[in-house]
Structure 1
Amino acid sequence: MAARSDIPGPQQRGGLLTGLIIPLTRQLRQITYLQAIQETFCLLMPFIILLTLLQMLGWLVLNPAGPLLGEDGLGLGSLLTGGLHGQTYRESAFFLNSARLRDYLDITNVLFSLLFALVLSMKLARLWQGQETMSMLCTASAYLFFITAISPNVHELNHYFMGRGFFLALLMATCSTWLFCHLARIQYLELPLVRSLPLSMNTSTKLFLPLVITLLASLLAVLGWIDLEHSVLSLPTLLAAQLNGNLPQTPAAAILYELTRRFLWWLGLNGSSFTFFWQEAFYAPAQLANEVAAGKYIFTTEFFDANSISLLGLAISIWVFASRQRLRTLSACCFPTLLLSINEPFLFALPIVLNPMFLIPYLLAPVLNVYIGYLAINWGIVPLFRYTVESAAPVFLQGWLATGDVMGAVLQLVWLSLDIVIYTPFVIIFNLLTQEEDLREEATPHEA
């Protein structure tokens, strides 16, 4: 678990912090289930960074139709193939081999979801006093059922897990582990021991019936989920059918969507995954309409991806104004990942997660960004976000490519400047509230 910054006692504060945020935070920190999720994120942080970098490598460098190699980008692919263009370039061995290499890296979303589910299953089995290895195997089996039922196509699988990955990992790990751990404690489901068998085999054999029930339940749940996803009862379909399509394009709805995403992240949950159904019902179709049908939608998936820049403002503010050397060092270390739109290290290392001091600016900054972005696009200062860009695209490049205009990057720069202004007073207040802790840290000799 990442180290948490020291939080002053409530006697030092007043108002909203003392009356609501701090008591809420203390209660949430006692929830062991949330602790298990946070520990899983922290344990998998190197994998998150590595898989995101591989995803960006596949999109930026290996994609034969991408911004570097593609003819609509810098056109390096045509240069490397001796001047091939159009259909001839797309049929070249270079194009096909580059596309194949990118497909190899196109499994990153599925892989991260699987790793998260396995580690979380281990943590939950320990929490619920179950057998860790068998619980992980139950979760892995559920995943194999699910992947087989979705699609054999790697690209389709990766696209499906791109938004739902964390939600599915949480769902499968929690349900399969909970069911197995509780069934394993029912004595009449245990098979009798056979003295001639090795101890390790007896241990697993006596859990045969709980395993059978868990795997059958997982298989039925997967089949039910797939049927639901492809029916009119799926949540995105119901939302799109029941709500006016113009409602999500109002600033109020967009701000509420962004508030929900960020608050879930503050809880230590992947807010983008939990709100993916709303995004799929409204903002993904708006993005597609802008790209292929000359749509006029302001709020799209790329708009909200561009708005993920807000944490970079906090990192800069801490690096400049924080009194603690540890926080400044942490900010500097996370700065490269934030530039590459990888926010998880900063979220869990500072931490932002369940930190009452930074909740208000963490919610306020993206909300103001949404409204300023709305005004800038509505007044014609910034073009619409028309083009789909890989979510792992670096900051500023993402805004530029998604709008097709340098003003997209300028909008992100304006957002960043505003975020620094919003976060700075809270960083300074944090310095004042933790002066005693700073003095104790300076007085305590550091161990080598």
Structure 2
Amino acid sequence: MNALIKWLEKYVVPVATKIGSIRWLVALRDAFIATMPATMAGSIALILNTFVRDIPTQFGWTKFVENMQWLIGINGQVWTGTIAVIGLIFAMTFGYHMAKQYGVEPLSGGIVTLGSFLMALTQTANVTTALPKAITGAAAKTLKAAGATLTVTKDAATGKLVHNLGTSGWGFFNFNGHFGSQGLFTAMIIGGVAVAIYIFLMKRNLTIKMPDGVPPAVSQAFAAIIPASAAFYVVGIFTWAFTKLTNLAFVDWVAKVIQEPLLHASQGYGMVLLLTVLVQVFWFFGIHGTNVLGPILDAIWLTAQYQNINTAAANPGAKLPFLWTRASFDLYAWMGGAGSTLILLIAIFIFSKRPDERAVANLAIAPGIFNINEPVMFGLPIVLNAIYFIPFVLAPTVMVSIAYFAVTHGLVAPIKNQVVWNIPPFINSFLATADWRAPVLQLVNFAVGFVIWAPFVIASNRIKPDELS
């Protein structure tokens, strides 16, 4: 055991420490956190619609659903301004926190990333309409001259030929796709480049300096003009050239080449297991694993979660695109916090005879119920406590494996609602999935985790507090 811990201290901890100190990763994490007011408001709207629309619909309570249309409509408006446009909101918060990390004017940094994000999006809309009869002759020539397209397709149901009129227009953003979770990776890439240019020029003092006595807000705005303009033009030249050369908007290319493969990989058991183990190992050495790996967890699995949420909101009852999302870790592997330390506290109350452990458990149980585990992590402690290293890593590993295969085999519904991270176990899983089987899965995992933790708690009775290392 000591040899393993020394090896981890030598090779793993330095890497984790360096990752945790990279400023753009910290900014990325903080940017996701900053979207919480929007995501929580949108989550409330979606959860309310679960209870007034989705569940009643399952039971055939059509009259109740009809009477609640006013609330369903209001919730839809809230969703439209929050989770539905989370990519747009993140584009602003990312630039703000990047600029803040590097000590330059942050609001302009947010404006730079927001504007750059919009440049990378599709700005045209194509609409195809089936015509009641064919258009020929002069009318067809006039429409084609105006930029319309005329096509003929075969109706699969009737076998008849259908004449279609296609038109396109400029100035239409893809609200349902690009403004939402599909735009997150584009905001990270194109926004990161833009704000890096802005920060670089601000640091080199390539700014317009105003005389003393000018209000700070005015002075800061003028100072940002040259760096922001340079960033906008670099991004503008790139996105214009990219579209001309590829006939694709940059956001569509990112979705196809980068985002889709990463999201697909995130659904594999190996990737889920690896992230779970790394979070536990980092935490054991006192490094906040969920924060250090937050940029990865949020960029990949939170993106998948937002796509589930938006799919469920736009098409109730439709098949969700992703089975494993960001909240899946919290619900099934980290009950009470990383390591499922709420289970440890219950085991201490039942089996521990050590006064120091029972005293910490008495203090930590209330926050633990709400998934706050710093009191037990640093008070027991679990950090660098060799007796608890094995269950701290093993319990979440086994629990995440059980949950992964339960969800991927259709035994439990995937997550379709965003829930606040500090909602107690069993309640949070039902709200997140609207599936009664999710709390049952949590209960099974709780029991399995208890079986893993209990022997080590019993063993710790033989160790005096001053003998722990």
TM above 0.5, one fold? yes
Q: Which amino acid aligns with 2:397?
A: V
Count of residue pairs the alignment pairs up:
377
Distance 1:38 1:326 in 2: 31
1:372 to 394, 398, 402: 402
Contact 1:55 1:106 in 2 (8 A): yes
Tell me the residue number matched to 1:60: 47
CA shift in 2, pair 1:272/1:30, >3 Å: closer
Contact 2:47 2:431 in 1 (8 A): no
Q: Output aligned runs, 1:325-404, within 5 Å.
A: 329=363, 332-333=366-367, 335-336=369-370, 338=371, 364-373=394-403, 383-386=410-413, 389-392=416-419, 395-396=425-426
Distance 1:198 1:309 in 2: 55
Work out whether 1:270 is the aligned partner of 2:295.
yes
Q: Output aligned runs, 1:278-293, within 5 Å.
A: none
Contact 2:194 2:231 in 1 (8 A): yes
Tell me the residue number matched to 1:10: none
1:166-195 alpha-carbon deviations (Å, 9 max, x no partner): x667656754443333223447x456x676
Work out whether 1:409 is the aligned partner of 2:424.
no
CA shift in 2, pair 1:305/1:33, >3 Å: same
Q: Which has the larger radius of gyration?
A: 2
Greater strand content? 2
1:69 to 49, 52, 57: 52
Greater helix content? 1
Contact 1:263 1:271 in 2 (8 A): no
Cα distance, 1:390 vs structure 2: 0.9
1:79-99 alpha-carbon deviations (Å, 9 max, x no partner): xxxx7367x668x54543443
Distance 2:40 2:86 in 1: 12
Distance 2:260 2:197 in 1: 30
CA shift in 2, pair 1:51/1:101, >3 Å: closer
Distance 1:327 1:119 in 2: 40
2:8 to 20, 24, 31: 20
Contact 1:262 1:271 in 2 (8 A): no
% identity of equivalent residues: 14
2:112 to 134, 141, 159: 141
Contact 1:400 1:409 in 2 (8 A): yes
Contact 2:46 2:75 in 1 (8 A): no
Contact 2:119 2:235 in 1 (8 A): no
Q: TM-score, normalized by length of structure 2?
A: 0.57
1:407-436 alpha-carbon deviations (Å, 9 max, x no partner): 443222111232344456778899999945
Work out whether 1:230 is the aligned partner of 2:252.
yes
Contact 1:29 1:35 in 2 (8 A): no
CA shift in 2, pair 1:148/1:350, >3 Å: farther
CA shift in 2, pair 1:348/1:309, >3 Å: farther
Tell me the residue number matched to 1:129: none
Tell me the residue number matched to 2:341: 315
Contact 1:69 1:77 in 2 (8 A): no
Structure 2 gaps of 5+ residues are 122-171, 280-288, 349-355
Q: Output aligned runs, 1:244-259, within 5 Å.
A: 253-259=268-274
Q: TM-score, normalized by length of structure 1?
A: 0.59
Work out whether 1:29 is the aligned partner of 2:17.
yes
Cα distance, 1:124 vs structure 2: 2.0
Q: Which amino acid aligns with 1:316?
A: L
1:231-258 alpha-carbon deviations (Å, 9 max, x no partner): 4852255679xxxx9x988xxx413334
1:84 to 51, 58, 63: 63
1:184 to 199, 202, 208: 202
Distance 1:385 1:301 in 2: 11
Distance 1:147 1:59 in 2: 27
Distance 2:376 2:36 in 1: 14
Cα distance, 1:319 vs structure 2: 3.7
Distance 1:362 1:220 in 2: 51
